[in-house]
Amino acid sequence: MDIVKETENYVKLKLLGEGSGHDWWHVKRVYDNSLMLLKHDMNQNVNERVVKLGALLHDIADWKFNHGDEKAGPRAARKWLESQNVAQDDVNHVCQIIYDLSFKGGKSRSPMKTIEGEIVQDADRLDAIGAIGIARAFAYGGYKGQELYNPLILPKENQTVAEYKSQQTTTINHFFEKLLLLKDRMNTRPAKEIAMKRQRFMIDFLDAFLKENQAEDSWHAARLDRYKAMDR
Ligand code: ADP
Ligand code: NI
């Protein structure tokens, strides 16, 4: 069987039913997003197999669930790919993508080193915004036992890596700390275009959420107004 198909089966078996938003269906969406971005980048010399393997393996072992170990993902991917006799250059490339991929707070922009990495990064980021992004954020917040929203806790924007990993936050704050920033960090043109639409949807959602809350909270509303203004 072909290595992409083999890898799909391996990842599916490992992640099916995972409950924090890193389940197989997240991986499938990232894979499909990657194929869509690949189609738009046809004039570039892109290693499609590396993109596909990177997308399938990108969440195989997350540092958040491995005692903060950022090498757990690349290590697990390497073990799998080497067991399948994938060429060493491709193994190294895929593992580099997985390592560089995770966004770790506002100060760290996680630049990718290759176009293949940029495509997988965009594909993963697209799944963190819009309607799916909203659903995943609240799923993750529930999994962590975090508050939906607390008008007294303000987001920490521009966090260092250490702060991002350790901070208690609310799910609404996660939008201001990360999700609303992703639109301007897309690498490829088609991802930028999709992100603009999804940004609007998130802004509308946050607007309705804050209005329904009727809380004394000028901070979140004022910050959202800035995003609304940027969106016009
Ligand atoms: P990805 O799988 O896209 O690399 P992460 O592993 O950082 O992203 O997070 C998985 C999902 O959980 C994403 O949709 C992200 O927005 C969400 N998430 C991460 N941290 C938080 C948080 N503190 N509060 C709410 N949602 C979060
Ligand atoms: Ni992911």
Domain 3-116 superfamily per CATH: HD-domain/PDEase-like (1.10.472.50)
As a whole number, the mean pLDDT across the chain is: 90
Lowest mean pLDDT among 49-53, 83-87, 152-156: 152-156
Distance (Å) from CA 144 to ligand 2 centroid = 17
Residue type, 104: K
Q: Is 41 in contact with 188 (CB distance < 8 Å)?
A: yes
Q: Which residue's structure tokens are 């639109």?
A: 183
As a whole number, mean pLDDT of residues 4-22 equals: 86
Which pLDDT band, with edges at 50, 70 and 90, does 187 fall under?
Answer: very high
Spell out which residues line ligand 1, taking CB within 6 angstroms. 21-22, 59, 62, 102, 124, 127-128, 133, 136-137, 140-141, 146, 169, 171, 174, 179
For the segment 198-223, what is each residue's pLDDT rounded down to a tens digit?
999 999 999 999 999 988 888 999 99
How far is ligand 1, taken at its centre, from the CA of residue 87, in Å? 32
Q: Determine how many CB atoms are found less than 10 A away from the CB of residue 36.
A: 16
* Location of each CATH 1.20.58.1910 domain in the chain: 130-231
- What is the model's pLDDT at position 180? 97
Q: Which residue from 15, 90, 21 is spatially nearest to 52, judged by alpha carbons? A: 90
**Residue spans in the chain of domains classed CATH 1.10.472.50:** 3-116
Q: Are 15 and 22 in contact (CB under 8 A)?
A: yes
Residue 63's pLDDT band (cuts 50, 70, 90): low
Structure tokens at 129: 């915004």
Determine the average pLDDT of the residues in 28-43: 91
Q: Of the CATH numbers 1.10.1370.30, 3.40.50.300, 3.40.50.970, 1.20.58.1910, which one belongs to the domain with range 130-231?
A: 1.20.58.1910
At 106 the pLDDT is: 46
Is pTM beyond 0.85? Reply is yes
CA of 137 to the centre of ligand 1 (A): 6
What pLDDT band is residue 53 in, cutting at 50, 70 and 90? very high
pLDDT at 122: 97
* Local structure of residue 39 (DSSP, 8 states): H
